[in-house]
Chain A
Amino acid sequence: MTTAAPDHAPKYAQLSLADRLGKAMPLLLVPLLVIFGFLSIGSTSSWLTLTVSGLAMGMMIFIMASGLTLVFGLMDVINFGHGAFISVGAYVGISALLALESWTGVPSLLLNVSAVLAAVIAAMCVTGALGWGFERVIVRPVYGAHLKQILVTVGGLIVIEQLIHVVWGPDEIFLTRPEMLKGAVTFAGAAIEKYRLLAVVFGLVLFVAMRLVLKRTKIGLIVRAGVQNGEMVEALGYRLRLVFIGVFVAGSALAGLGGVMWGLYQEVITAGMGEEMMILVFIVVIIGGLGSVEGAFIGALLVGLLQNYVAFLEPKLALISNIALMTAVLMWRPQGMMPVVKAK
């Protein structure tokens, strides 16, 4: 057989420091923002409290956004109805917690954790099933039509919000966290809420697990390849539609999980909470780069940290801090920090 192609060993060029930093810049933004926060806030204890709070908020936003970015990347679907899964997840999870009051009201770590786990599982099952139905009934007829996707998924969001009112009533529901998740631990003079620490750890574990699935398993490879070139994945023999449905269901379940966590964080839930969160979720998906789980993770941490720091330093600016962040990132990288999907 002819083998005329050159079989040379690769030669690696020495990249300049600026080039290397440029590549890693999205990753460096989080520590840079943390350092900026430290220098601006002055007080170590306040900075520590705000940083943990920002990281916790970021992790929860990431959990809600991760499914949405993959759904967009894989099938070019803009799903404004994603917020409904957040609300439904919160209502189902919190209802489960209220029903398990005998477990949450006693200072037993085992019972408290079991109650939260039961709430999370219930929320994820219901929102996963809801996601499956939503994809079949609402999203499937409008593949490839962005305007129709926006209209019909916003319609789905409104319908589901109203159904929440029908089932749970129109009033907001207040709740208290399980006994062992109440209160704070003191570290370096800073009071850090236990629940926020738990949210940080949980979010981190979930991100690592998601990365492992995406990088180390064949289904992860199919998802990553599908985000880049779905047609070619199908030409290799994989049914991308099935993969997409799986990702849609998983993304919906994760949104439900995020809803439970957000409800426990705020200690109040409303039917409109998902819709309100969608603004932050979309900012995270856009600045992270469409289709990128890593980008969404970094984007979520930036959004969480910045909102907390700015709210402390200049409360009036907190409302626009995330829009300003999005504007700055898009001026720097118009396709987001780590785009996977080519502009369509």
Chain B
Amino acid sequence: MSDPILELSAVHTDIAQYHILQGVDLTVPRGGVTMLLGRNGVGKTTTLRTIIGHWQAKSGSLHFNGADITTMPTPARARAGIGFVPEDMGIFSDLTVEENMILAAASGPLDPARMQWIFEAFPPLKTFWRSEAGNLSGGQKQMLSIARAMAEERQLYLIDEPTKGLAPAIISTMAGALRDLKAKGASILLVEQNFAVARALGDTAAVMDDGRIVWAGEMAELAGDATLQERLMGLSMEAH
């Protein structure tokens, strides 16, 4: 695994009195999708939030493109090329879809070619372009959340459970958009509970338990080994 885009070494993160990340070692290869898997409450979301800088690592180090970003503030990490789609989508509900997208293009005006691509991936965003984002359905909000990350060229996307609670048709749209991002050469670190999506998109995988990475390897290897899944996550992924 040469030239990784992101490396976490022995990262510890506390939230108030809770010691959540207890020495995370994670390598995200350049290009492709890395799945971050594990049961609820093992620290997947905290890992993503530590990478974007919403939580500061208490110890350990984070390197992005070879540069140490451990103490870098969140806006600088974003400007360095990390896009973040949080679990709660982080939509600005009082702003219109258009205003949400304008904000997402932090370095300048929206690029028409990129917008065309986004509208092809998520047609409802065009339909509701001037509507308040708070009035969108859950699926449409998730589309907007991912579209916002796609509004500018990013090198690494951190995406937290993009298919949670969505209808199968919308999940298929999400998976299509992520596949398209991957095809354009982006690196994606994806937290996902939907096994079909994880298996279809993942190139590599890392499984967390109790605030640590307990297994890392090829997604195909994990997907094809029910015993391994049982051992790492307490149940077979087919059971999802």
Binding site for B on A (CB under 8 A): 1-10, 218, 221-222, 224-225, 228-229, 231-240, 340
Task: Name the segment of B59-67, B74-82, B201-209, B226-234 touching the other chain.
Answer: B74-82
Interface residues of B in 65-122 (CB under 8 A from A): 73-75, 78-79, 84, 86, 90, 92-95, 99-100, 102-104, 106-107, 120-122
Whole-angstrom CA separation of A268 from B78 in the bound complex: 51
Q: Specify which of A4, A224, A239, A240 lies most central, judged by the most chain B CB atoms within 10 Å of its CB.
A: A4
CB-based contact A5/B92 at 8 Å: no
CB-based contact A225/B103 at 8 Å: yes
Given known contacts A6-B124, A7-B124, A1 and B176 CB-to-CB distance under 8 angstroms: yes
B-chain residues with CB within 8 Å of residue A238 when the two chains form the complex: 75, 103, 106
CB-based contact A2/B90 at 8 Å: no
Q: Which residue of A lies closest to B154 (CB)?
A: A237
A-chain residues with CB within 8 Å of residue B123 when the two chains form the complex: 3, 5, 7
B24 CB within 8 Å of chain A: no
B-chain residues with CB within 8 Å of residue A2 when the two chains form the complex: 172-173, 175-176, 179
Given known contacts A234-B78, A237-B75, A238-B106, A5 and B131 CB-to-CB distance under 8 angstroms: no
B213 CB within 8 Å of chain A: no
A188 to chain B, nearest CB (A): 41
B-chain residues with CB within 8 Å of residue A232 when the two chains form the complex: 86, 90, 92
B221 CB within 8 Å of chain A: no
CB-based contact B173/A235 at 8 Å: no
Contact of B94 among A10, A234, A340 (CB under 8 A): A340
CB-based contact B54/A4 at 8 Å: no
Given known contacts A232-B92, A235-B54, A5 and B143 CB-to-CB distance under 8 angstroms: yes
Q: Which residue of B lies closest to A9 (CB)?
A: B127
10 interchain pairs (CB within 8 A)? A1-B179, A2-B176, A221-B95, A231-B74, A231-B90, A232-B86, A234-B53, A236-B78, A237-B78, A239-B75
Q: Specify which of B54, B78, B175 lies most central, judged by the most chain A CB atoms within 10 Å of its CB.
A: B78
A29 to chain B, nearest CB (A): 21
B37 CB within 8 Å of chain A: no
B154 to chain A, nearest CB (A): 10
CB-based contact B78/A228 at 8 Å: no
CB-based contact A4/B176 at 8 Å: yes
CB-based contact A229/B177 at 8 Å: no
B-chain residues with CB within 8 Å of residue A228 when the two chains form the complex: 92-95
Instruction: List the 8 closest A-B pairs by CB distance, nearest first.
Output: A2-B176, A232-B90, A237-B78, A7-B123, A237-B106, A234-B74, A5-B173, A4-B172
B214 to chain A, nearest CB (A): 28
Binding site for A on B (CB under 8 A): 52-54, 73-75, 78-79, 84, 86, 90, 92-95, 99-100, 102-104, 106-107, 120-124, 127-128, 131, 139-140, 143, 148, 169-170, 172-173, 175-177, 179-180
Given known contacts A234-B78, A237-B75, A3 and B90 CB-to-CB distance under 8 angstroms: no
Given known contacts A9-B127, A221-B99, A228-B93, A4 and B84 CB-to-CB distance under 8 angstroms: no
CB-based contact A3/B54 at 8 Å: no
Whole-angstrom CA separation of A3 from B172 in the bound complex: 8
Contact of A235 among B86, B93, B102, B170 (CB under 8 A): B86
Q: Which residue of B lies closest to A235 (CB)?
A: B84
A318 to chain B, nearest CB (A): 36
Whole-angstrom CA separation of A218 from B175 in the bound complex: 32
Q: Which residue of A lies closest to B79 (CB)?
A: A237
Whole-angstrom CA separation of A6 from B173 in the bound complex: 10
A213 to chain B, nearest CB (A): 14
Whole-angstrom CA separation of A235 from B78 in the bound complex: 6
CB-based contact A3/B95 at 8 Å: no
Sample of 7 further A-B pairs with CB below 8 A, known A225-B99, A225-B103: A1-B180, A221-B95, A232-B90, A235-B54, A236-B104, A237-B79, A340-B94
B87 to chain A, nearest CB (A): 12
CB-based contact B106/A236 at 8 Å: yes
Contact of A234 among B75, B100, B102 (CB under 8 A): B75
B129 to chain A, nearest CB (A): 11
A-chain residues with CB within 8 Å of residue B93 when the two chains form the complex: 228
Whole-angstrom CA separation of A229 from B75 in the bound complex: 14
B227 to chain A, nearest CB (A): 32
Given known contacts A1-B177, A2-B176, A224 and B54 CB-to-CB distance under 8 angstroms: no
Contact of B90 among A1, A4, A229 (CB under 8 A): A229
Whole-angstrom CA separation of A229 from B103 in the bound complex: 13
CB-based contact B86/A4 at 8 Å: no
Given known contacts A1-B180, A7-B123, A225 and B75 CB-to-CB distance under 8 angstroms: no
Given known contacts A1-B176, A5-B123, A228-B94, A233 and B139 CB-to-CB distance under 8 angstroms: no
